[in-house]
């Protein structure tokens, strides 16, 4: 069965600094997709970044980038130049194309706080 593990329940970063959130996963598939979602206190889940497993190049979206290590089944999120608005719960998620419709398997989440 596929699993997603986030081993950091809480992280803290100083404004303008860089922080890395960790995620490991397990799947028997060779083709799959990985995502980082942000969930502010308002609860609306927002997609931050996605990575296709068949792509070797790490995805980037402005200040957000990932370090995707397929062999190690690791998918970390780096946030550069952290801003107060980045404070939220961050969830790592896995999607296997073989699953009907592509349900997401989420990790337990990492709560990120940003200090001014």
Specify the pairing of strand 110-115 against strand 10-14.
parallel
Residues at the contact surface with other proteins, assessed by CB under 8 A: 4, 6, 33, 35, 37, 42-47, 50, 52, 91, 93, 95, 97-109
Min separation Cβ 68 and other proteins, Å: 14
Decide whether 43 or 71 has the Cβ nearer to other proteins.
Answer: 43
Q: Which of residues 66 and 105 has its CB atom nearest to other proteins in the complex?
A: 105
The nearest distance, CB 77 to other proteins, in angstroms, is: 15
- In the complex, the smallest distance separating the C-beta of residue 25 from other proteins, rounded to whole angstroms, is 12
How near is the Cβ of 66 to other proteins at its closest, in Å?
14
Q: Which residue number, 50 or 63, has a Cβ lying nearer to other proteins?
A: 50
- E strands in the chain: 3-5, 10-14, 19-21, 24-26, 33-39, 46-52, 60-61, 64-69, 74-79, 88-95, 105-106, 110-115
């Amino acid at each position: 069965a596929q699993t997603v593990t986030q081993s950091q329940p809480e992280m803290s970063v100083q404004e303008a600094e860089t922080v890395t959130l960790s995620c490991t996963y397990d799947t028997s598939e060779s083709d799959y997709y990985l995502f980082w979602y942000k969930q502010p206190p308002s609860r609306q889940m927002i997609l931050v970044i996605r990575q296709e497993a068949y792509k070797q190049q790490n995805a980037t979206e402005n200040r957000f980038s990932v370090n995707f290590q397929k062999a190690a089944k690791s998918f970390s999120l780096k946030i550069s130049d952290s801003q107060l608005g980045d404070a939220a719960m961050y969830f790592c998620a896995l999607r296997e194309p073989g699953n009907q419709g592509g349900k997401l398997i989420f990790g337990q989440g990492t709560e990120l706080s940003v200090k001014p």
